[in-house]
A and B are shown apart, each in its own frame.
Chain A
Amino acid sequence: AQSVTQLGSHVSVSEGALVLLRCNYSSSVPPYLFWYVQYPNQGLQLLLKYTSAATLVKGINGFEAEFKKSETSFHLTKPSAHMSDAAEYFCAVSEQGGSEKLVFGKGTKLTVNP
């Protein structure tokens, strides 16, 4: 069965600084990987996804994530944080050709300080 670990339930950065949100996954088959974002008082929306094409995936709002099979990681990055990036970010995994269940991590709350 697949699982996701997000290191750090809270991350705080200064405006303009690098954003790095960590995600490690476990899957017995090649995974599909996703990052979702939940802005305050809004529903979850897709930020980006990895589906076995390019290992570096670009998403909305300047975010990107790199799939590293050897490290079983899919960390989310953004070169320069903006105040509007303050939100909760969830990493999720499903199995290619296997269970269709999408399993989420516990989430990382990002705070951006002026």
Chain B
Amino acid sequence: GAGVSQSPSNKVTEKGKDVELRCDPISGHTALYWYRQRLGQGLEFLIYFQGNSAPDKSGLPSDRFSAERTGESVSTLTIQRTQQEDSAVYLCASSSRTGNSPLHFGNGTRLTVT
């Protein structure tokens, strides 16, 4: 596709359930990033991938959060045993290379935990 695609666009789940958020980056982009944006807050770094490996997982808030990337393409962010504080917009971005290349953002997945 022409841009970064995220699915679903909206997800409502009950506390304690697991959720999977998907990101399809721009074809050929080697770097992929996940951010979280809580209501009224800035962008909180979660994790980034260079190819299929994740050199920096320092932003993952807890061991309930995990992410993987396969084929240097699609990435999945999984949140286990969701909590209400996990409610946020989860943004994915990709770039052709890291460093000074601009990020191209998807429209995000709005997660609501009830």
Contacts and interface: CB of A to CB of B under 8 A. Distances in A.
B108 to A, nearest CB: 7
B100 A32 contact: yes
A105 B56 contact: no
B56 A104 contact: no
Nearest to A103: B45
Given A32-B99, A90-B43, A94-B100, A101 B105 contact: no
A27 to B, nearest CB: 13
B102 A49 contact: yes
Contact of B50 (A36, A94, A100, A107): A100
A39 B63 CA distance: 33
Interface string B98-114: 11101101111000000
The number of chain A residues touching the other chain, given as a range, is 20 to 34
Contacts of A45: 105
A46 B45 contact: no
Interface of A: 6, 32, 34, 36, 42-46, 49, 51, 90, 94, 96, 99-107
Interface of B: 31, 33, 35, 41-43, 45, 48, 50, 55-56, 58-59, 91, 93, 98-100, 102-103, 105-108
24 contacts: A6-B42, A34-B102, A43-B91, A43-B105, A43-B107, A43-B108, A44-B91, A51-B100, A90-B42, A94-B98, A94-B99, A96-B99, A99-B56, A100-B31, A100-B56, A100-B99, A101-B45, A101-B56, A101-B59, A102-B48, A103-B45, A105-B42, A106-B41, A107-B43
